[in-house]
Amino acid sequence: MLEKYAHVFPAMVTPMNEDGSFNYEVAKKHADWMMDNGIGGIGVLMAAGEYQSMSLEEHMEYVNIMVPYIKQRGASVIVGCSRERVEDACALMNNAYKAGADAAMVLPSFYYNQSQEEIIDHYTYLNDNSDLDIMVYNNPNVTSGITRETMKELYKLPHVKIVKDASMVIDVMTDLFLKQNRQKKKKMFFVAAITYYIRLMQQVLLDGSV
């Protein structure tokens, strides 16, 4: 079942009209262009899609239109569902699940840097209250970084299927526990930076990119 994540997932922009409403015509053309050129997965409402500027209602509206459109073309979809309040992130995940998304990309809570214990609690809540697969996003540039020991604990959560790493700290993500998971194919490992991508490809650890 993890094969659906073995793609490069471009994070698509969110086209808008002058009045701030969504321009679905342009969004669908953009998605079509990517899929027509061989893209097997698309990231919807990630940072490039300005999810942080949207209300919960706007996020849900866009997901309810774009996710089914992309899915009926046969591509996988990962939806950005990060929010400061874990309950809000969970609500977005549940809506994305109903719309047919494959997974949600979720950061730890931001601005107020969480402790490692709080990060585990954050993802445990999402795991226990949504049926959607989770991409854990480790990006210490915008929130608390996730340590090696914490990542080991997150890997135990059944809905955590993917890790996206933007820390640029390779040894945190490429020690024995990650190599073991590569062999067992229980989780997927994505990266977000091109130089990092090349170095991990050389170690045959990388499954995809977002």
**Where do the structural domains in the chain lie, given as residue ranges?**
8-136+143-164
Say yes or no to pLDDT of 203 above 70: no
Confidence of residue 4 (pLDDT cuts 50, 70, 90): confident
Q: Which residue has the higher pLDDT, 58 or 155?
A: 58
pLDDT digits (tens, 9 = 90+) for 137-183: 888 778 778 888 898 899 899 999 888 877 776 665 665 455 555 55
Q: Taking residues 5-31, what's their average pLDDT? A: 93
The β-bridge relationship of strands 76-80 and 208-209 is: unpaired
Cα first-last separation, the chain: 19
Give percent of the chain with pLDDT exceeding 70: 79
Rounded CA separation 71/47 (Å):
21
Q: Please give the pLDDT value at position 50.
A: 87
Of 113, 111, 200, 114, residue with least CA distance to 163: 200
Rounded CA separation 6/22 (Å):
29
The residues carrying an active-site annotation are 137, 164
Q: What CATH number should be reported for the domain whose range is 8-136+143-164?
A: 3.20.20.70
Q: Please give the pLDDT value at position 68.
A: 98
